[in-house]
Amino acid sequence: ILDIHGGPTGFFAAAYLPSHNRYADAVGLAERGFATLRANPRGSSGYGRDFRFANYNDWGGMDYQDLMAGVDHLISQGIADPERLGVLGWSYGGFMTSSVITQTNRFKAACVGAGVTNFMSFNGTADIPGFIPDYMDAEFWDDLEPYQEHSPLFNIRGVKTPTLVQHGEKDIRVPLSQGRELYNALKRQGIPTELIIYPRQGHGVAEPRLRADVKRRATAWFERWILGKE
C-alpha cells in the first residue's frame, strides 16, 4: 500500500514504528498481509530548501515519479506484488492519490481522503484561496493551463481504479465539494466508488470513533479489491 502524506510539506520519519498517521493503519494493514510504503517525494520537508520547493508548478509531476520509483524499488526487492497494489492519502495525499489513478492503472484500489481534485473550484471555495496560485505561480484567470494540467478531475477519463472517497462534512480547508466532484466523475464513468461523509468533521477527522471508521473502511476497501474479500 502506497501511503502518501499531506502538506505537501509533511513528511514521514524513519522510526521503528512509522510516524503517526491517523488515516492509514500500517500495523493493521500488516496484520492483513499488506506492506506499506511511506515515501517522502519532492516537496516534503526535511531535505533542504531546494527539495522543499521542487514541486512548485508540478503537483502530480515529478512527485508522482518519486512515489512510483519507490513502488518499483519494492517490487524489485520482492516486497511488493505488482498485481496487488493499493494507494491512499489524506489532504495533499488525497490529491496525489487521485492524481496517481489518473496517470496509471497499476493500482487495484485507492482511498482518497479530503483531497483537492479540481484546482479551479478549490481556489474559489477553500479558506486558503491563495494556496494553489502560489504553487502554480499564477491565478487561473491569468494562466489556465497549469490548473487543468495538474487537476485530477481534468484528467479523469480512462481511470479504472476502484476508489473510496472519504471527506469531513464541515471541511473548509478542502471543501466536501472536492470529494463530491471526484465521486460523481468516477460514478458517471462506471468506476466502482463510494463516498463516505463524516458528520461534524473538518479537514481532519477528530472524533475517535469516526477516525477508527476511516481506517476500517480503507482496510476493507483494499481487502475487497486487492484480495477479493467481501
Q: What pLDDT was estimated at residue 228? A: 92
203 catalytic residue (yes or no) = yes
Q: Which residue out of 5, 150, 167, 203 is catalytically annotated?
A: 203
Q: What pLDDT was estimated at residue 10? A: 78
CA atoms of 35 and 45, how far apart (whole Å):
24
Over the stretch 197-222, which tens digit does the pLDDT of each residue have? 999 999 999 999 999 999 999 999 99
Which residues lie below 8 Å from residue 133, measured CB to CB, with a gap of 6+?
A: 123, 139, 140
Q: Does 193 or 56 have the greater pLDDT score?
A: 193
Q: Which residue out of 44, 91, 98, 99 is catalytically annotated?
A: 91
The CA-based dihedral angle spanning residues 13, 84, 58, 156, taken in that order and rounded to the nearest 10 degrees: -140
The yes-or-no verdict on residue 88 having pLDDT over 70 is yes
- Asked whether 26 and 38 are in contact (CB, 8 A), the reply is yes
Over the stretch 105-149, which tens digit does the pLDDT of each residue have? 999 999 999 999 999 999 999 999 889 898 888 898 999 999 999
* Domains identified in the chain and CATH numbers: 2-225 (3.40.50.1820)
Over the stretch 158-199, which tens digit does the pLDDT of each residue have? 999 999 999 999 999 999 999 999 999 999 999 999 999 999
| Position 167, amino acid | H
Kindly report the pTM of this predicted structure. 0.92
91 catalytic residue (yes or no) = yes
User: Which residue in this structure is represented by grid cell 476493507?
Assistant: 220
- Asked whether 25 and 220 are in contact (CB, 8 A), the reply is no
Percent of the chain with pLDDT over 70: 96
